[in-house]
A = this chain, B = another copy of it.
Amino acid sequence: MEARNLEKRLWLKGSGLLSTIHEIARLTTKVAKDDPRRLIHSLKFGLTISLVSFFYYLNPLYVTFRTSTMWAVLTVVVVFEFSVGATIGKGLNRGLATLVGGALGLGANHFASLFGKNYEPEPVFITLFVFLQAVVSTYIRFYPKVKARYDYGMLMFILTFCLISISGLRTDEIFDLAKERLSTILIGASTCVIVSIFVSPVWAGEDLHNLVAQNIEKLGSFLEGVMDESLRKSENEKLARASLNSVVVDSKSCEEALANFARWEPGHGRFMYRHPWKQYLKIGNLTRLCACRVEALNGYLITSIINQAPQEVHEALSRMSAQAGKALKELASSVETMTSSSYKINPQIASLKIASSNLKSILKSGLCEEYYKNLLQVIPVAALLIDTVASVEQIADAVNE
């Protein structure tokens, strides 16, 4: 009996372990399946760090830079990011901050040495400078614009200033130290930037571009099918749509981060250096507003509601949602290909406007007055659809800009 219990317990433990392993394996494949570039990024990072660690093995280089070589490794680990924009942004931030922080640190050290004995800097002054600098820089990090783009640079500025001004107390070769550290950091950062640009680059700008276009596309295909009974019946379809909508609603912070990274990127492919990234944020915001309305529309059991409505209303609603969906898809492909297809879109928007005012007048007509009770639930749906159409028009305006 005991033996069997033990066996059972072991078996349970074993199957628990197995299911954990299984879960981890599933997660691992999912990470790569969601975005295969993640695997490539990992390999790129491995490559870069191996390259930089070579500096340590090559004797001539080691003689020049001594233990400062470590700073090249450190820089690679911290600066190498997923997208080109983020890597360049961090690299530039780090390089500039090290330069400015180092220079000011040397200055503070020199100033403090004026008050010391035998040109040994006075610890009290150094501590005072470090304290003041830390307080002011930390405070500046709270400024919204600084936080969005230069947070890492401010951090590195504080770090370098402290390290240089404090270590000045001990090292006579402070200039050499600063020079070595700066050059190793430059080597590390430039290796990162070169690898990230030339080995299968991931452009934040392109990601932003695609994300915005995809979100509009998703909304479009949802709207096209929203009145179609057969499309709405399958459970999987519903789940997919629900998650789709929450993605559209939640994508704000992701878009803002991408736009911040994209500003650092040089021109590439179809994007010039000063591509109007802000416009994408505007389109993204309008898309989310539209998604908010579509999600509300999704909350109604539309098919059962509109079947109660008179034939005319039913038809007008279906036609309008299909048209709005098609217009959104057209807008998405216009964003996608970056061509101004206003000659295609403008007529669609115009006919959407006509359909919208038609629906309003049908609802106001005597015909509908008879069906009043049946229409109680249809009217909110119609109102939402009219609002949705209005926000589709806003998106079209923003895209055409």
- 5 nearest A-B residue pairs (beta carbon): A380-B383, A46-B135, A42-B138, A46-B134, A42-B139
Quick one: given A74-B163, A123-B57, are A135 and B27 in contact (CB under 8 Å)?
no
Q: Is A253 an interface residue (CB 8 A)?
A: yes
In the assembled complex, the CB of A370 is this many whole angstroms from the nearest CB of chain B, namely 9
A136 contacts which chain B residues (CB < 8 A)?
42
The answer to whether A155 and B78 touch (CB under 8 A), given A31-B143, A70-B163, A169-B56, is yes
State A295–B127 Cα separation when bound (angstroms). 52
B45 touches A134 (CB 8 A): yes
Q: Please tell me if A282 contacts chain B, counting CB pairs below 8 Å.
A: no
Inter-chain contact A158/B296, CB cutoff 8 Å = no
Q: What would 13 more interface pairs be, CB under 8 Å, given A56-B170, A57-B123, A380-B380?
A: A31-B143, A42-B136, A49-B131, A49-B134, A50-B127, A50-B131, A53-B166, A70-B166, A73-B159, A73-B163, A73-B166, A250-B252, A299-B387
The CA of A384 and the CA of B266, in the complex, are separated in Å by: 47
Contact B142 A38 (CB under 8 A): yes
Is residue A132 contacting chain B, with contact meaning CB distance below 8 A?
yes
A103 contacts chain B at the CB level, 8 A cutoff: no
Q: A50-B127, A132-B46, A253-B253 are in contact. Are A74 and B159 (CB under 8 A)?
A: yes
Q: A142 — which chain B residues lie within 8 A by C-beta?
A: 31, 38
Whether a CB of chain B sits under 8 angstroms from the CB of A372 is yes
Task: From known contacts A127-B50, A170-B56, infer whether A77 and B380 are also in contact, taking CB-CB under 8 Å.
Answer: no
